[in-house]
Amino acid sequence: MSTTTTQLRALSITYRKADVALRELVALSDEGARNAMVRLKDVVDPADLLILSTCNRTEVYYTSDQPQSRAILQAIAFQNNITDLELLLASAEEINDQREAVRRLFQVALGLDSQVVGDLQIINQVKQAYQRTADLQMAGPFLHRLLHTIFFASKRVVQETSFRDGAASTSYAAVELAEELTQSLIQPRVLIVGLGEIGVDVVRNLADKKRFSDIRVCNRTDSKAEELALEIGLMPVPFANLWAEVQSADVIISSVSGSFPLFGHDDLAKLEVISHKFFIDLSMPRSVASTAEQVPGILVYNIDQLQQRTDATLEARLAAVPQVEEIIDQALGDFDDWSREMIVSPTINRLKQALEQIRQEELARHVKQVSDHEAELIEKVTKSMMQKVIKLHVVPLKAACKRGDADELIGVLNDLFNLEHQEA
């Protein structure tokens, strides 16, 4: 396709080319994305605009007759106070072919392009991005149709494949394990200790689970725990009060680093454990003593056990990839048919208006000469005739769309009915 054609385009900075520091630099909050979208509306006025920003990617999908990569990155840089625009340009990937951009959004939304294949969170993040676009009235018929087609394909993936089954990341496997361990508890209390990348990921995944309403976070640097707790709406715990919180917690998920276990055998032995206390140790080296399970009531699950769960899940998800690709291909085919029909939609509307104008002019000449009953019959008959005449032209026009050769028929109709002078 020519780059001068109005079409969907994409600009992305993802984990494939950008490290964590750069992804953090360009990441946009909901408010930041809204501000950037409003700025782009004023600068380049795209017909459709969607900004998706997660820990692994910041991507912009937009319809325009020209690539707008520099303007988009300038808007992000302005929003996040970034001075080195060339750094962003060097790390960004452009897609200026509509079909490629559409397929890319499918792959992202369904989890094929995630660091963790089959990511369970990404489809909800796409839905939130779409809601933001709709709120700002920056989605036209094309983007509305595309997103709803993607959501329907996502539903098929869940119903027809094993692509989203199980936990394929260590952090999410820890959350699933915590759910299993606390099935018999009415309101389990969970304590997360250590807020590095994995710890934060665990916290966010836990916060999405309605089952866990009592989640507490603790970190050696108290301010980090306070900041995260404030953002998500959880309870921060001062590191000085760690053992008091361990005493009252049902599940402790630890991802702290250190030369020696933070949860040593002697300290664990001092705890009053009525039933069971579960430790999920995500640290390497381990943060829970190797002899911890010698303490009555203490049960420990380490990262190797979680990895076994994630390996099995990942294997099943990879096996389901061909099914997911087939669902995407089918959805793309339907969307392509609709997109082609959109091209001829203005011509069909002009044809309807031209025929309606002829009908109205003829009715105006003769309706005064007949009774009200006869006028109603004439109205009904002429409308029916007009619909059949339109259908005679529309059916072959839509068939030509699917073949990709509608231009000639559009030209003939324009000449026959002088449609260029009709407003679409």
Catalytic site positions = 55
Say if CB 170 and CB 282 are below 8 A apart. yes
Please, what is the end-to-end C-alpha distance for the chain in angstroms? Answer: 24
- Residue among 311, 332, 323 at smallest CA distance from 163: 323
Which residue is associated with the tokens 């020519």? 2
| Measured distance CA(177)–CA(299) in Å, rounded | 12
| Measured distance CA(63)–CA(328) in Å, rounded | 21
Q: Which two tokens stand for residue 224?
A: 């980090």
Name every residue whose Cβ is closer than 8 Å to that of residue 299 and which is 6 or more positions away in sequence: 181, 276, 277, 278, 279, 293
DSSP letter at 263 equals B
| Measured distance CA(294)–CA(135) in Å, rounded | 56
Name every residue whose Cβ is closer than 8 Å to that of residue 263 and which is 6 or more positions away in sequence: 246, 252, 254, 279, 287, 288, 289, 292
Q: If DSSP states are collapsed to H, E and C, what string results for 180-203? A: HHCCCCCCCEEEEECCCHHHHHHH
Would you mind telling me the total number of residues written for the chain in this entry? 424
Other CB atoms within 10 Å distance of the CB of residue 18 = 23
| Measured distance CA(356)–CA(158) in Å, rounded | 47
Q: Which two tokens stand for residue 320?
A: 């389901």
| Measured distance CA(105)–CA(97) in Å, rounded | 13
DSSP letter at 295 equals S
Say if CB 85 and CB 74 are below 8 A apart. yes
